[in-house]
Structure 1
Amino acid sequence: MKVNSLFFVLIFSFVTNSIQAEDGYRLWLRYDQVKDAQQLNTYREAIGGWLVEGESPTFEVIRKELQLGLSGLLGAYMPSLQSVEQDGMLLAGTPSSSPLIASLNLNAQLDTLADEGYIITQKTVNTHPTTIITAKHDVGVLYGIFHYLRLLQTHQRIDKLSIQSTPDVMHRVLNHWDNLDRTVERGYAGFSIWDWHRLPEYIAPHYIDYARANASIGINGTVLTNVNANALVLTPHYLEKAAALADVFRPFGIKVYLTARFSAPVEIGGLETADPLDPEVQQWWNEKANEIYEFIPDFGGFLVKANSEGQPGPQNYGRTHADGANMLADAVAEHGGIVMWRAFVYSEEEPEDRAKQAYNEFKPLDGAFRDNVMVQVKNGAIDFQPREPFHPLFGAMPQTPLMMEFQITQEYLGQGTHLVFLAPLFEEVLQSDTYAQGEGATVAKVIDGSLHNYQITGMAGVANIGTDRNWTGHHFGQANWYTFGRMAWDMNMSSRDIADEWIGMTFSNDEGAMRNIRTMMLNSHEAVVNYMTPLGLHHIMGAGHHYGPGPWVAEMPRADWTSVYYHQADKEGIGFDRTETGSNAVEQYFPPVARKFGEPESCPNKYLLWFHHLDWDYKMKSDNILWDEIAFHYQAGVDSVRLMQEKWNSLESEIDQERFQHVKSFLEIQEKEADWWKDACLNYFQTFSKLPIPEGVEKPEESLEYYQNLSFPFAPGIRPRW
C-alpha cells in the first residue's frame, strides 16, 4: 500500500468537504478554525511547531493527521520542523524511535500502561518547553495525537498537561452485520460501505476516512461481515478483497476479523460433515486459517454465531459450544488469532423462558474453552431491547473471558430516525453490580478482566454505519459510534463527558448550545424507553422488521418470536413472572441481585414488568395504580420528544442549515412515531385492563384496528434469507 498517495486522497477528501455544505461526512473530526478569537490566539501562542520522530506507515499517518488538524484548527499551514527549535513545540514518538524522547527517561511511566496506552506531558527539551506525546508503540502515539487534537477541538487548556491513558480492554471491535450483496442486516444508513465488487483494485477514499475515524476513538478491530454468515467470504476470491481492506486499516492500528459459518467445510470445502471433533473437519479449518493468514498476516480471528436462529453449529452434531469454539481457536492459535463465540443462543423448541437459555447453555461450560476464546455476551438476556437488566452471565463465568456486545445500530430504538443517545444505556449496564465477589463487582470489572483475572478482554459494538453521506443516517447516530469507542477505551467515562466531547467536536463549543444539545442527548434514552417499553416491558415491536409497535403479535413460527409471550397481558394484569412462582430466571443472578429483583417492592421500577406479572391496579410507589403509571410513562415519552424539538428549534441560528433542517425533520418523525407507540400500546393493553386512560394522558387518535392493520413490507434492515 502506498500510504502517501492514499493520504493525498484523504486530505483532498476532507478539505474538499470542509468548503462544501455541512453534510456530516467529517463526523467528529471537523478541524475547522477555532472560532473564539481569544482561544485561537492562546493556541497559536502555545504551539510553536511540531516534530514527529519515527518511520513507519503509522508515523506517516500521525504526520498527516497533525498537519491536517493543526493547520485547520489554527488557521495556518504548520509543516513539521526538523528539530525542537522554539518554545511550545509538540514532539511525538516512542523512546525507540526518538532519541529526544529516549533522553527524557519516561520508560518507567510507560511500563505502567498497556501496549496501546500513551502519555501526554510537558518537558524541557533543548532548553525549550515542549509537549511530549509518547507511547511504547507507534499506534499508541497515534491515539495520543488524536487525544491532543480533541483537546483543541473542545477548547481545553493545553498548558501543564499530564495525561496517562490506557485502554480498559484489549479488543475494541466493530461488528458489521454487512452482507456480500451490500445489504446490511439491521442497517438504517444505506448499503454496506464495503464495495466488494470493486475490491481489491479500487480503494475508495471512505475506507481511509473510516479507519481514521475509528482510530480517533481507539477502535482497533473490525468484523467485516454479518454474524449470519456466508461461507463465500472465506474463499480466495473474497479473502483477496478483505486483505486489501486490511492493508488500508493496518497503519491505523485496526485488525480485520471475519465471521465463520460453521458449515463452511460442507458448503465450500466439499466435506460431508462439519462435526468439530472430526479430524478431517479440524484439518480443513487449520488449512483455511493458514490460507487466511497468507492473505492477511495480522488477521484478528473469527466471530461466530452458532446454533442460534437457524445458524449451523456444533450442536447439530451433538457437540458443545466449547467443542466448536476450541476447534476454531486451535486453527488460529499459532498465528495469534482469537475466536469470539457469541452467547446469543436459544433453541428452536418452545422455551420455558428464552431469557434463561444462554446462561443454561454456557454456565456449565465455564473453564472448557481455549485460552484464545472469548464468549461474546449481549448486554441483556433477550435481544438489545430499549432497556434490559444486565445479562446474568456477567460474573457467572470466572474461568472464561466474557466480551461485552452492545448494539450501536438502533434496531429496537427507532431505527434510523430517532435521536437516542446510547451512552446512558451503556453506562447503566457497565456500572451494574453483579455481586459476583461481593459489592462492587460491576459488569465493567468483569469485562476489563480485573474481577476474574481474564488474560484477554474485549468489547464489541454492532455498527450503525452505511453509505449515507453522514455515515449513520441520523446525524446524532454518529454520537453512538463515538460513544462506543470512547467507552470501550474507558468504561468509567460518564455519559455527560462523552456528550460534551462529541458536541464540541461536532456542533458547537458555545455553552448555551452545548447545554441544550446535552440535555436533548442525556434525556433521549429514557424518553424512548418511556414511549416504547416502560416499566420493564420488552419485545413488543412489529414482527420481522422490528419497526414500530406490535404488542398484539401472536402468530409466529415460534412462541418466543411473539410479543404476547413477553408481556403476558391478561384481564388480571401484565408482565413476565421471572420469580420463583414463574420461570425463576431471577435465580440466575447472584443472591443480593436476585433478592432485589425478586420482590416487586425492591425491584427497580425500570425492570418491574421484566420480572413480575402484576395486577392492573397494583399500587406503585408513586401511589398510582399500575395501569395509570404505564399510561403516564407513555405520555412522558412523547412529551420528552416535544421538549427535544423545542430545544433544537432554539438553535437554528447556531447550527448550519443543512444539519439543522435534517435533525429538525427527523425529530418531527420521532414525535409522530412516539405518539404512534403510545396510542397503539395503550389501545391494545386497554382491551385487557378495561380501565380508562387517566387525565393528563392524550387519548389515542385512531382505533386499535387501525394500528393493527398498518403494514411495512419494505422496512429497512430486514434479515436476509439465504
Structure 2
Amino acid sequence: MNRFCYWCVAIIFSGFIQQANASIADFKGEDGYRLWLKYDLLSDVSLRKNYAKQLGSIYIDTQTDTGKVIMQELQLALPGLLGQEPRFTDSAQQATLVISLNPSLQADATDEAFAIQTQQGKIQILAQNPVGLLYGTFHLLRLVQTEQSLAKLDIQQAPKIKLRMLNHWDDLDRHTERGFAGESIFDWHKLPDYKEQRYYDYARANASVGINGIVPINVNSNSLILTPAYLRKVQALADIFRPYGIKVYLSIKFSSPQQLDGLPTSDPLDPQVQQWWQAKAAEIYQLIPDFGGFLVKANSEGQPGPGDYGRTHDIGANMLAKALQPFGGNVLWRAFVYAHDSEHERSLQAYNEFVPLDGHFESNVSVQVKNGPIDFQPREPFSPLFGAMPQTSLAMEFQVTQEYLGFSTHLAYLGSMYKEVLDSDTHTNGEGSTVAKVIDGSLSKAPLTVMAGVANIGADRNWTGHIFGQANWYVLGRLAWDHDLSADNIAREWVAMTLTHDPKASEQIVAMMMQSRENIVNYMTPLGLHHLMDTGHHYGPGPWVDNLGRDDWNPTYYHRADDKGIGLDRTTDGTNAVSQYAPYWQEIFNDPKKTPDNLLLWFHHLPWDYTMASGKTLWVELVEHYYAGAAAVELMQAQWLGLKDKIEPNQFNQVRMALAIQVKEARWWRDACVLYFQGYSNMALPAGLEKPQHSLEYYQSLTFPYAPGQG
C-alpha cells in the first residue's frame, strides 16, 4: 500500500455518547491526522478547472530521493484538490509545470532557496538543489490550497534562519515530558526495522513549513542514545527524514563518557574525555553522514555539565564543537540554567552566567535561549540575553507544547506570542535592534542561526491533542522561515488549509485565534504575574504554594503578595533585573508609570490601591482581567458552536469538547486566584461580578497525581 494513502482514508467513529446531553456525537470525517495537508476537493469548480489546466502536465528534472518525494506529494495533492490525476512528462517543453534545478539561481546564498515564476503560461519552480525544489513545491501547493492566483507568479524565497528545529522532550520509553498529546511518536523498541507510516507523514508536515532539523529525545537525556544499538535506530529515522531536507540532532548527557565506558571523569579538559567525544562523533557520522549535531542541557535542574568540574559553559560547548567540526556538525547549548545556591533572583541567572562568556564560543556553537528570562510563562518580557552577546550565535527556543498554557485542552494560538517576542526591540544596538535581528544574524553576522520549538506532538490521531495545537507547530515553521510574516496571515493560511474556506467562518476563527493567548494571560497571569501554576505538573492554579525544595520553585517567590501589595520588585531598588536590559528599557521598567500594564507586576511590587492608567485601583484592574479572560473563553465557545455547519463534524466536536473544558478551567483559575489574592488585599470584588463558586480551601484541596506530561 502506498504509504501516503493513509492520509486519504476518512476515519469514522460511531456510538460515542455525549454525556452532557445524552445525544449521539457525530465523529464523521476528518479527525485531524492530515494536519494542514488535507488536500480536499476545492469547491469552486471554475477555479479547480483553471488550476487543472495550469498544473496539467508536470516535468521534474531530478531523479533523487527528494525528487521522488516531490512526485509522490503531487500524486497525493492534485487528485485530492482538483479531482484530476497529474500527468508527468519527460519533456520540459510540453509541461505546464516545470520543476527544475537551476544552479545559477541567485535567490540567496543558501541552497534551500527557491523561485516560482509564471512565464508564457508555464509555471516554473527553480532551486539550486532538490530540497529547494521540495520547499517550492509545498509553497505552490499552499497557494492552491488557499485559492490564490497562479497567473503572474514571481516569487523568490530563502529562509531567514539557517536551522529551523523541533525539540522533542520525549524519553526512550515513549513518555513525553510536558507533552499532552499522548506518548512519543518515536517507538524506539521497534526501530530500526519497523518504520511507521507516521514517521513519513511527520517528515512531510515538517518539510511543508520548512523545518529542517529535529531532536527526537529529551534534553534531560539518556546516555543510551549514544550506544551502537540506539544509534542504528537513529540512523533509521535519519534515512527516512533525509529526502525531506531534515537532519537529526541528538540531546546528549554530558556525563556519557563515564556512564557508557567507565571513564573516571567527564571533565571537558581531560584528554581522554576529548578523545572519547571525538571517537563518538566519528562513529555517528559513519552511520549518519548528514548528522546535525548535539543539543545540550548542562548544569541545570540536576543535569551534569562542565560546572561539575569547575569549568564554564564555553569550555564544555567548545569541547563538543571541536569533536563535530571535522564533520560539519553544530552544538546547541541551552542557556536555561539556574544555580541551586545562587544569591541572585532567578530571572538574572542565565544572563549572569553567559554574558561574561560572549565571544568565547566556537563558530559552530549556538547558545539556545528561551524567549523569556524565566520559563515559558504565558507572558514574559524578552530575555535580556538577546542583544547582550553580540559575538555569540543566540538561538531562539519557543514553547510549542503548552506546559504553562492549559495543556492540550486550552485553545492558545501562539503565533501572536512568537511575534510579540520577535518584534521586541532590544535597543542594544540602537532603535530597530529587534530580537528577530539578533537571532537571524543581522546584527552580529553570526554564521549559525537557529530557531527551535519544544514540540507539542504525540501519538494522538490529531498529533497535538487539540486541533488548534496544530496551528502552533505550523506557525513555528513559517516564522522560522520568515519572521517578517504576520501571525494573522499565517493563521489565515492554516484555517484555509485545515478547517474551512468559508469567508465569514474563517474571519471569525482567525479572530478567535488572535485573541486566544491574551485570554489565557488574563485568566491565569494578568498584569505581569507569572509562575502561578500548581506544583510539578503545572496544571491549574497554585499561587499559594510555598513549600517546595527551593524558593524559586514556589509561586509565592514570584508574586510576593502581602498585605501591602503584589508583584516582584525587579527595579534598581529591588533585584535590579532591569540592569540587564538596555538603558532605554531600564528607564521604562524602573518606572511603574512607564512600564506597560501587561508587565507591571513583573517589574514592580505595588500597593493594592495603586492607581492604574485607567484610573482604577490595581485590585480592581487585576480582578477585572481575571473575569474578562474567563468571559472571553465563554464567548469563544459560543462563537465556535455557531460554526457547526462550516467545520467537519470530527474536527468540530473535538474543539467543542476542549472548549467546554477550557470554560470550566478558566473559571477555576479566575476564582482560585481572586480568592487567594483577596485574602491579602482585603478588598471586595468589584460590583456586578459573580462570586466564586467554591471557597479558597476547596481549590487548595484539589490534587492531580496523574496529570499528563510530568517530568
434, 437, 452: which is aligned to 1:460? 452
Residues 576 and 611, structure 1, Cα contact 8 Å, conserved in 2 = yes
117, 122, 146: which is aligned to 1:121? 117
* CA positional deviation for 1:48: 2.8
CA distance in 1 between partners of 2:285 and 2:441 (Å): 28
TM-score, normalized by length of structure 2?
A: 0.97
**Partner SS for 1:339:** strand
* CA positional deviation for 1:115: 1.6
**Partner SS for 2:327:** coil
Letter in 1 for 2:308: N
156, 162, 183: which is aligned to 1:164? 156
Match for residue 45 of structure 1?
53
* CA positional deviation for 1:18: 7.9
CA distance in 1 between partners of 2:57 and 2:502 (Å): 28
**Partner SS for 1:416:** helix
1:46-445 correspondence runs (5 A): 46-84=54-92, 89-95=96-102, 107=104, 109-110=106-107, 112-124=108-120, 129-445=121-437
1:499-538 correspondence runs (5 A): 499-538=491-530
* CA positional deviation for 1:81: 1.9
Q: 1:456-484, CA deviations, whole angstroms, 9 ceiling, x for partnerless residues?
A: 10101000000000000001000000010
CA distance in 2 between partners of 1:290 and 1:85 (Å): 46
Residues 590 and 603, structure 2, Cα contact 8 Å, conserved in 1 = yes
Measured on the aligned residues, the alpha-carbon RMSD in Å equals: 1.2
Moved more, 38-47 or 673-682: 38-47
Match for residue 28 of structure 1?
36
* CA positional deviation for 1:220: 0.1
- Count of equivalent residues: 696
Residues 17 and 26, structure 1, Cα contact 8 Å, conserved in 2 = no
* CA positional deviation for 1:350: 4.9
CA distance in 2 between partners of 1:632 and 1:626 (Å): 10
Letter in 1 for 2:90: Q
Letter in 2 for 1:78: P
Q: 1:426-475, CA deviations, whole angstroms, 9 ceiling, x for partnerless residues?
A: 00000000011100000000010001111110101000000000000001
Residues 176 and 709, structure 2, Cα contact 8 Å, conserved in 1 = yes
6, 21, 26: which is aligned to 1:13? 6
CA distance in 1 between partners of 2:293 and 2:36 (Å): 29
CA distance in 2 between partners of 1:9 and 1:205 (Å): 10
* CA positional deviation for 1:76: 1.1
Match for residue 102 of structure 1?
none
Name the % identity: 57
Q: 1:184-205, CA deviations, whole angstroms, 9 ceiling, x for partnerless residues?
A: 0000000000011110011000
CA distance in 2 between partners of 1:84 and 1:439 (Å): 49
Residues 120 and 162, structure 1, Cα contact 8 Å, conserved in 2 = yes
**Partner SS for 1:699:** coil
* CA positional deviation for 1:33: 1.1
**Partner SS for 2:2:** helix
Q: 1:563-610, CA deviations, whole angstroms, 9 ceiling, x for partnerless residues?
A: 000000000000000001100001100100111112101101111000
Letter in 2 for 1:89: T
CA distance in 2 between partners of 1:227 and 1:108 (Å): 38
Structure 1 stretches of 4+ moved >6 Å: none
**Partner SS for 2:501:** coil
Q: 1:363-405, CA deviations, whole angstroms, 9 ceiling, x for partnerless residues?
A: 0000111110000000000000000000000000011000000
Q: 1:88-121, CA deviations, whole angstroms, 9 ceiling, x for partnerless residues?
A: 811002125xxxxxxxxxx3533x3522111001
CA distance in 2 between partners of 1:92 and 1:638 (Å): 50
**Partner SS for 1:241:** helix
* CA positional deviation for 1:516: 1.1
* CA positional deviation for 1:661: 1.0
Moved more, 351-360 or 375-384: 351-360
* CA positional deviation for 1:645: 0.8
Match for residue 489 of structure 1?
481
* CA positional deviation for 1:37: 2.1
442, 465, 482: which is aligned to 1:473? 465
Q: Which runs of 5+ in 2 are unaligned?
A: 13-27
CA distance in 1 between partners of 2:100 and 2:262 (Å): 50
**Partner SS for 1:653:** helix
* CA positional deviation for 1:131: 0.4
1:648 aligns with 2:648: no
1:548 aligns with 2:540: yes
Match for residue 622 of structure 1?
614
Letter in 1 for 2:56: G
